[in-house]
Chains A and B, each alone.
Chain A
Amino acid sequence: MAESQTSNQGRLAENILYFARALRAAGLPVGPGAVLDCLEALSVARIGDREDFYWTLHAVFVKRHEHSILFDQAFRLFFRKRGYIEQLIATMLPEAAKTPPKPPPPGAQRIQEALTGGLKECEEEKQEIELDARLTVSDREVLQKKDFAQMTAAEIAAAKHAIAKLALPLDLIRTRRLATARHGHMIDIRRTLRASMKAGGAVIDLKYLGPREKEPPIVALLDISGSMSQYTRLFLHFLHAVTDARKRVTTFLFGTRLTNVTRAIRQRDPDEALAACSAHVADWSGGTRIASSLRAFNKNWSRRVLGQGAVVLLITDGLERDADETLGFEMDRLHRSCRRLIWLNPLLRFDGFEARAKGVRTMLPHVDELRPIYNLESMTGLVRALSGAPAKGYDPKTMLKQVA
């Protein structure tokens, strides 16, 4: 009897293990600890039906809202066989152990096969689904993958060196936390008291606290449309290096749609990171829809990533085909939701560039700073362009006046 229970539980554990593996393959961060948690949860939950089973697994394996969809798909595919979950649930009920040991249920072998097969199928089907979704969005989009030339060791070293010098304007924000400071403005009573204790309380040696400063989060919005394609690699390389050096960097790519590539770009190796970005994004070197991409950002992401005084780096040439009032509206909203909006425009390196294009004119009033890049061949040039005070003549307001 005891033996049957262990074997039953063993089978359950095995199934959960396979399921966790399927989830991992689908991209959910599921560690071995989660499998143990899941088994514990299943044993305390005393599950009645399929729905409870679903939500118990969901409670343990899903740690992000966007993973719910993946979990749902994986669950459906994995436990597709009718009556299979019921069987699993039956193995967990204490009554199941009381019944005399039965011969293995018919089809146990088949279920095992279906499971291992199901794993492969699940991945394949998921890919298909993704492809379908891509093709339905719009026929105007050019969907293609991008191959980046690999980074040379010298390039990587130069990038690291340059990024270390990067100092964005207003790059330190005062937090509301306090830190030990020699000439602070508040008395640190705790340390004062400890220090005066040394002298038996006779002398009170005042210690001070001052505000702690830290770097604000950076949110980069990078245009990857056709007109920007020659700079994309450099910018991605730059963003990878910045992500490596700073704590809070979020990166979005947009052409005709918006993609969050923060996770992909966080990979240690720049080549791998760029390849992962390429795999994530479907609209390389296609058209530009700045307004709709900004709209997507404002609606779905701005409230999630623009907290705590974020600086937004908008990297685009501003060449929007159909620039109408929605572009101005979304730029305005973006401008109002972040602490500082810096527009980095690679077109500005050509002498005599004037803000003639309608898109550029629409966007200009809503940015805090417009940064030109004189030398876009190297990371050093890029870092120099972003650091320090803005060059004269590139103030958005003066540029607007020139046009008018």
Chain B
Amino acid sequence: MTLTPLPTSIDATLALLAKADYVADRSLATVLYLALRMGRPLFVEGEAGTGKTEIARVLAKTLGRKLIRLQCYEGLDVSAAVYEWNYGAQMIAIRLAEAEGEGDRERIEHDVFSERFLIKRPLLQALEPDPDGPPVLLIDEIDRTDEAFEAFLLEVLADFQVTVPELGTIKAAHPPIVVITSNRTREVHDALKRRCLYHWVGYPDAKRELAILRAKVPGIAKTLSQQVVAFVQALRKEDLFKVPGVAETLDWAGALTELDVVALDPATVSDTLGALLKYQDDIARLDGSKVKALLDEVKSELRAAE
């Protein structure tokens, strides 16, 4: 089994991402390339729906590595993130030892707290050797957990090791590729960020968004895709509580193709606005006349560009 080698330049990183239909800009390719070469975790922050999680998925897919995902949530603790003892099996082992007349406490304890009874959770799995090469560890939405867990991660990310009191320290022979994402619902501590390479994933410009749309929704008509992108770009300039992300653009384009729409008209836009805007106030703000005005503007711009 041969390993897929890591990219050797920024251009190669860009090409690697493009192979899996991920249209990245050069800044992302640069920081990703550095993270891979320097063996540093990549910390990506940005609004929801801008393709942060996708980076890790694409990386795992194109490099042929295993993707290990740790979804963070409030109350995430060591037993769910790192390891847990298999208590049921341990109880049985103790009973069996008793039945066999084993009275040596030290011996039972040693047997019961061995690797055989250890249930490995994502962080520990990521430190294990893998025939396909070090896995991609995705720590998703780290802002959802609390500071205590963040502090725990410092050890894992700095030395790629985990300490299990009963067993000792487990260290990765080959450190995994780590991608951490955050929606910025709270500020992650600088100490953690310092260990990572930071990247802010913003909304793409029209050209890149069009490329993303065509890569992800292959059957889409040319005019429709241009109109969709121009409309969403115009919408992002409006004063909205939550402007649509790339994920919303893709959803909307998918919905429009399902409805066999070939070109946008105000009625269709108003009917399908729920795919783009997720707050009632935002939808209320964009009434029929506003949609029509925006759409007219978009269409005249597109015509001028031709």
Residues of A within 8 A of B (CB): 29, 31, 33-34, 37, 40-41, 44-46, 48, 51-52, 55-56, 58-60, 62-65, 68, 175-178, 189-190, 193, 196-198, 200-202, 247, 298-299, 303-305, 307-308, 329
A303 pairs with B26, CB closer than 8 A: no
Known A55-B26, A59-B31; judge A46-B108 contact (CB<8 A): no
**Cβ A197 vs Cβ B198 within 8 A:** no
Could you give 14 example pairs across A and B, Cβ below 8 Å?
A: A44-B34, A52-B26, A63-B194, A65-B45, A176-B74, A176-B75, A177-B77, A190-B87, A193-B85, A193-B112, A197-B112, A201-B97, A201-B108, A299-B241
A190 to B78, CA, bound (A): 13
Q: In the complex, what residue of chain A is closest to B186 when comparing beta carbons?
A: A307
Q: Which residue of B lies closest to A329 (CB)?
A: B281
- Which of B77, B94, B200 has a CB less than 8 Å from the CB of A201? B94
Does B10 lie at the interface of the complex (its beta carbon under 8 Å from any beta carbon of A)?
yes
**Other A-B pairs beyond A190-B85, A197-B112, A307-B186, 20, CB < 8 Å:** A31-B194, A44-B38, A58-B31, A65-B184, A176-B74, A177-B146, A189-B85, A189-B87, A190-B87, A193-B85, A197-B105, A197-B108, A197-B109, A200-B103, A201-B94, A298-B241, A304-B184, A304-B185, A304-B187, A308-B186
- Is the CB–CB distance between B194 and A59 below 8 Å? no
Q: Once the chains bind, are A177 and B75 in contact (CB under 8 Å)?
A: yes
A-B complex: 6 closest residue pairs judged by Cβ atoms: A176-B75, A55-B30, A59-B31, A201-B94, A44-B37, A63-B193
* Nearest opposing residue in chain B for A62, CB measure: B198
CB closest residue in chain A, given B74 = A176
- A52 / chain B contacts, CB cutoff of 8 Å: 10, 26, 30
Given A44-B34, A45-B33, A175 and B74 touching (CB < 8 A)?
A: yes
Known interface pairs A33-B194, A303-B185, A304-B187; A178-B38 also in contact (CB < 8 Å): no
Taking the closest CB of chain B, its distance from the CB of A302, in whole angstroms, is 10
Nearest residue, chain A, Cβ from B196 = A63
Give the interface SS of chain B, mostly helix, strand, loop or mixed: helix
- Write the chain B residue with the least CB distance to A198: B105
Whether B19 is near chain A, meaning CB under 8 Å from some CB there, is no
Give chain B nearest CB distance to A123 CB in angstroms. 23
Q: In the complex, how many angstroms separate the beta carbon of A204 from the nearest chain B beta carbon?
A: 9
Minimum Cβ distance to chain B for residue A293 (Å): 16
Complex-state Cα separation, A41 to B198, whole angstroms = 13
Provide the bound-state CA to CA distance between A247 and B90, in Å.
Answer: 40
Which single residue of chain B is at the shortest CB-CB distance from A304? B184
Q: Which residues of B contact A200 (CB under 8 A)?
A: 98, 103, 105, 108
Q: Which residues of A contact B74 (CB under 8 A)?
A: 175-176, 308
> Which positions 50-94 of chain B face chain A at CB distance < 8 Å?
74-75, 77, 85, 87, 90-91, 94
B26: A residues at CB distance < 8 A = 51-52, 55
Residues of B within 8 A of A298 (CB): 241
Residues of A within 8 A of B85 (CB): 189-190, 193
> Does any Cβ of A come within 8 Å of B147's Cβ?
yes
A55–B94 Cα gap in the complex (Å)?
Answer: 58
Query: Which residues of chain B have C-beta atoms less than 8 A from A65's C-beta?
Result: 45, 184, 200
Contacts A52-B10, A177-B77, A201-B95 given; indicate if A305 touches B186 (C-beta within 8 A): yes
Encode B125-163 as 1/0 by CB contact (under 8 A) with A.
000000000000000000110111000000000000000
Instruction: Tell me if B247 counts as interface (CB < 8 A to partner A).
Output: no
A177–B147 Cα distance when bound, in Å, is 12
B9 close to chain A: CB less than 8 A = yes
Q: Are A193 and B90 in contact (CB under 8 A)?
A: yes
A196 to B193, CA, bound (A): 42
Complex formed: what's the CA distance from A59 to B40 in Å? 11
- Using known A-B contacts A58-B27, A63-B193, A175-B74, determine if residue A40 contacts B38 with beta carbons closer than 8 Å: yes
Q: Contact: A41 with B27, CB < 8 Å? A: no
Kindly list chain A residues whose C-beta atoms are within 8 Å of the C-beta of B273: none
- The yes or no answer to B199 lying at the interface (CB within 8 A) is yes
Q: Which residues of B contact A31 (CB under 8 A)?
A: 194
CB distance from A200 to the nearest CB of B (A): 5
Task: Considering the complex, give the chain A residue whose CB is closest to the CB of B199.
Answer: A59
Q: What's the Cα separation between A31 and B281 when bound, in Å? A: 44
Contacts of B100 in A (CB 8 A): none
Q: How far is the CA of A56 from the CA of B110 in the complex (A)?
A: 50
By CB atoms of chain B within 10 A, which of A48, A198, A200, A329 has the most? A200
Q: Mark B157-196, 1 if CB is under 8 A from A, else 0.
A: 0000000000000000000000000001111001001100
**A-side contacts of B198, CB under 8 Å:** 59, 62-64
Contact among A33, A45, A60 for B37, CB-based, below 8 A: A45
Q: Is B18 an interface residue (CB 8 A)?
A: no
Binary CB contact string for chain B from 29 to 45 against chain A (1 if under 8 A, 0 otherwise): 01101110110000001
**A307-B185, A307-B186 in contact; A178/B77 too (CB < 8 A)?**
yes
Q: Are A48 and B10 in contact (CB under 8 A)?
A: yes
B197 at the A/B interface (Cβ < 8 Å)?
yes
Residue in chain A with minimal CB distance to B184:
A304
Bound: A200/B184 CA distance, A: 50
CA distance A177 to B74 in the complex (A): 8
B164, chain A: closest CB distance, angstroms: 12
Contacts of B90 in A (CB 8 A): 193
CA distance A197 to B187 in the complex (A): 43
Given contacts A63-B190, A201-B98, A304-B184, contact A175 B75 (CB under 8 A): yes
Contacts of A68 in B (CB 8 A): 200
How far does the alpha carbon of A298 sit from the alpha carbon of B33 in the complex, in Å? 36
| Chain B: CB-nearest residue to A262 | B187
Residues from chain A with Cβ under 8 Å of B147 in the complex: 247
Chain A residues within an 8 Å CB radius of B35:
59
Q: How far is the CA of A41 from the CA of B190 in the complex (A)?
A: 20
Closest B residue by C-beta to A34: B194
Contact check, A59 vs B197: say whether CB atoms are below 8 A apart: yes
Whole-angstrom distance from the CB of A57 to the nearest CB of chain B?
A: 10
By beta carbon, the residue of chain B nearest A214 is B146
What residues of chain A lie closer than 8 Å to B241, measured between beta carbons?
A: 298-299
How long is the Cα–Cα vector from A273 to B34 in the complex, in angstroms? 38
The interface residues of chain A lying within 8 Å CB-to-CB of B95 are 201
B187: chain A residues at CB < 8 Å are: 304-305
Contact of B31 among A33, A55, A190, A305 (CB under 8 A): A55
Check if B75 sits within 8 Å of A41, measured CB to CB.
Answer: no
In the complex, what distance in Å separates the CA atom of A62 from the CA atom of B30?
Answer: 14
A299 to B285, CA, bound (A): 15
Query: Which residue of the partner chain B has the closest CB to A59?
Result: B31
Residues of B with C-beta under 8 A to A45:
10, 30, 33-34, 37
